[in-house]
């Protein structure tokens, strides 16, 4: 598959009515959640973009020096409602949810593709009144099209949020810059220092391995090829200001 074939297919992953609405964005940042971004001081570089994608409602303010502050579209996996907010079973969970969601701007995109998660997400939408952002539901057919696109090219496993929105960025942005995309437990430029699975918690690769449903190595292989071809740029290590 050539680069031109990839980009031409990406252009048709959105419905035609949407393609006529959205204009091409000069520069986009896609911020992944790898612990490799810690100490990178890439925040300013991330925020230079005209549009910033963020994954799975990662905290912003505390890590802005490394991961940036700007947000235009942030994914919100429904599993977060359980892991962080205990499905709103207690008032403090609701209050924490409201506090956390205020840090995002633009769109908060939730892939509520199961009946149980859809019920929770619809309950949120009924009472969601924050002015900082808009809570929207992802379209399962759209996600499935991108999933099948990569499966037809040899990818195995459910695609991650970062890989999904990198694909979207390739169809909408002239430049695509990736940060926090590093699926390995160590970094060679840090004397093989251990890298946390996420930059905002203490999960390591060993504890998270049993829960993994994505094929991160396969995704990174594709992204690295696109990086080498000049289609996008993966930022690893410190950013030079």
Please compute, for residue 109, the number of CA atoms within 13 A of its CA located in the half-sphere on the CB side: 18
Known catalytic membership, residue 139: no
Strand partners, 134: 107
DSSP 3-state of 145: helix
Helix (H) or strand (E) holding 110: strand 106-110
Helix (H) or strand (E) holding 109: strand 106-110
In sequence order, what are the residues at sequence separation of 6 or more whose Cβ sits closer than 8 angstroms to the Cβ of residue 13?
142, 145, 146, 149, 167, 168, 171
Q: Which of 155, 214, 235, 240 is catalytic?
A: 214
**DSSP strand E in 18-105: where?**
25-31, 51-54, 73-75
Residue numbers annotated as active site: 214
């Amino acid at each position: 598959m050539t680069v031109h074939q990839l980009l031409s297919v990406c252009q048709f992953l959105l419905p035609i009515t949407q393609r006529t609405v959205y204009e091409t964005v000069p520069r986009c940042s896609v911020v992944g959640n790898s612990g490799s971004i810690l100490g990178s001081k890439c925040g300013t570089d991330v925020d230079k973009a005209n549009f910033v994608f963020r994954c799975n409602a990662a905290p912003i303010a505390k890590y802005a020096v490394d991961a940036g502050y700007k947000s235009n579209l942030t994914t919100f996996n429904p599993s977060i409602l359980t892991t962080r907010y205990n499905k709103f079973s207690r008032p403090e969970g609701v209050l924490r949810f409201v506090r956390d969601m205020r840090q995002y701007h633009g769109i908060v995109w939730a892939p509520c593709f199961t009946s149980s998660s859809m019920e929770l997400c619809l309950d949120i939408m009924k009472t969601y009144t924050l002015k900082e952002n808009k809570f929207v539901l992802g379209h399962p057919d759209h996600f499935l099209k991108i999933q099948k696109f990569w499966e037809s090219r040899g990818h195995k496993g459910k695609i991650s949020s970062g890989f999904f929105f990198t694909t979207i960025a390739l169809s909408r942005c002239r430049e695509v810059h990736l940060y926090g995309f590093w699926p390995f437990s160590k970094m060679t430029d840090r004397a093989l220092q251990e890298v946390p699975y996420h930059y905002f918690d203490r999960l390591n690769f060993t504890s998270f391995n049993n829960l993994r449903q994505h094929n991160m190595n396969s995704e990174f292989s594709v992204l690295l090829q696109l990086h080498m071809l000049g289609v996008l740029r993966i930022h690893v290590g410190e950013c030079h200001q």
